[in-house]
Amino acid sequence: MELQSITCSSSNVVALLWCASLLLLGWFPTDAVGITTKEQESDLEALLAIMSQINHDPFGVTRASQNNLIGSIPSELDNLLKLEELQIAQNSLTGQLPPSLANASSLQEISLKWNRLEGRLPVTFGLLKRLVALELNGNTFSGSIPPSFCNMSSLEYLVLGTNQLSGILPVCLGSNLPSLRGILVGANNLSGTLPESLSNVSNLETLEVSNNYFHGKVSVNFRNARNLSWINMKENNLGSGSAGDLDFVTTLTNCSGLQVVSIAFNQFHGLLPNSITNLSIAMTYLYFGNNQITGTIPLGITSLVNLLGLGFEYNRVSGTIPDSIGKLKTLQWVSLGGNVVVLA
């Protein structure tokens, strides 16, 4: 078998379908939740089909409320002391988040995703000690993520994707909030390195940091994150140009339910570790394309028997693809072009 890539001009119907789906998703959804803009409604079935294969939907894609509500959240909020859930997702709310909302101290869930809210994230939210889920994705919030958020000691889901947030991912998130299960901050303007403290987030299931300006070596050790299933670092400037850039991949071998790893479109150098053959048998997507990775694709890749998608295109991978890749019965999408190939 020779190195090749299935491109979107392929006449293969399955490949075309997948290319279309991947385009629709931007290969992976930037925040894994509630992707239902009007334009995409007709594609919802296809999307759901893919999501169902990924088998990972902590928030329920189909549960979003759409009521065409307009207006802004009033800053004088009385009688909210007993409010446990504030769900006004997918409406047309405008204006800023009132800092006084932090007085609603029983809140366990705030979902204001896919509205038109703007301004800074209120520092006062750090007072919400019972808050389990904060979903503010799909708005135009700007400014940085307040370190006071590390005081939300019950927080399990921090969902801030698709906004205009800048600054760093606070180091204290990792050291103060080990019960975090989802950190979803994709499609923002965040920068800095991925804090090493994330090694302490032992309950982590989803790490979505794609489409930002993160850079440098990934020094996170995922050994303790036994429940990690989805990790997307796509489209950043990650990598240090050193041989050990992919060391963190080896720490993922203890995550027995791991399904998706995307590190494409970064600056990762170094040798592709053989340990990818020891990743979870549950792996469905492995996407390492558009980096500077060297080495060969190990023969043992065939032990990942549930793979649906495999991408190593535009790297410096050499050698031949093992023939045994044909044993991967579920494989629907392979992209290996644009490498420095020496055919044996």
Structure tokens given for 37? 């803009």
- To the nearest 10 degrees (0 to 180), the angle between helices 44-54 and 13-25 is 90
Comparison of 199 and 339: residue with beta carbon closer to ligand NAG: 199
One residue of 138, 161, 174, 186 binding ligand NAG per CB under 6 A: 174
Number of residues located near ligand NAG, criterion CB under 6 A: 33
254 sits near ligand NAG (criterion: CB under 6 A): yes
Give CA–CA dist 146/198, Å, rounded: 17
State the minimum distance, in angstroms, from the CB of residue 21 to ligand NAG: 26
Neighbours of 84 (CB within 10 A): 12
- From candidates 108, 179, 267, 277, binder to ligand NAG by CB under 6 A: 277
CA distances from 200 to 170, 171, 178, 337 (A): 14, 11, 6, 37
* The binder of ligand NAG chosen from 137, 200, 210, 212 (CB under 6 A): 200
Q: How far is CA 332 from the centre of its chain?
A: 21
- The distance of closest approach from Cβ of residue 247 to ligand NAG in the complex, given in angstroms and rounded to an integer, is 10
| AA letter at 331 | L
- One-character DSSP codes across 62-105: GG------EE---S---S-TT--EEE--SSEEEE---GGGGG-T
Looking at the Cβ atoms of 5 and 137, the one nearer to ligand NAG is 137
Q: Which of 126, 216, 295, 337 binds ligand NAG (CB under 6 A)?
A: 126
Say how far apart CA 240 and CA 110 lie, in whole Å: 37
Task: In whole angstroms, give the CA distance from residue 309 to residue 305.
Answer: 11
Question: 66-105 mask for ligand NAG (x: CB under 6 A)?
Answer: ---------------------------------xx-xx--
Applying CB under 6 A, which of residues 53, 124, 193, 302 lies at the interface with ligand NAG? Answer: 124
Closest alpha carbon to 331 in 306, 298, 296: 306
Q: Out of 203, 292, 302, 303, point to the residue binding ligand NAG (CB under 6 A).
A: 203
Q: Is there binding between residue 142 and ligand NAG (CB under 6 A)? A: yes
**Does position 318 bind ligand NAG by CB under 6 A?**
no
The residue among 72 and 203 lying less far from ligand NAG, judged by its C-beta, is: 203
| CA 138 from centroid of its chain's CA atoms | 14
Number of residues written out for the chain: 344
Among 147, 319, 337, 338, indicate the residue that binds ligand NAG (CB under 6 A): 147
Does the protein bind ligand NAG through residue 320 (CB under 6 A)?
Answer: no
Per-residue buried b or exposed e for 248-276, using 16+ beta carbons within 10 Å of the residue's own CB: bbbbbbbbebbbbbbbbbbbbbbebbebb
Pick the stretch among 18-26, 31-39, 85-93, 271-279 that binds ligand NAG (CB under 6 A): 271-279
Residues 283-312 that bind ligand NAG (CB under 6 A): none
Q: String of b and e for 67-83 (b: at least 16 CB within 10 Å)?
A: eeeeeebeeeeeeeeeb
The distance of closest approach from Cβ of residue 125 to ligand NAG in the complex, given in angstroms and rounded to an integer, is 9
Q: Which of 72, 105, 193, 227 binds ligand NAG (CB under 6 A)?
A: 227
Interface residue list for ligand NAG (CB under 6 A):
99-100, 102-103, 124, 126, 142, 147-148, 150-151, 164, 166, 174-175, 189, 196-197, 199-200, 202-203, 223, 226-227, 250-251, 253-254, 274-275, 277-278
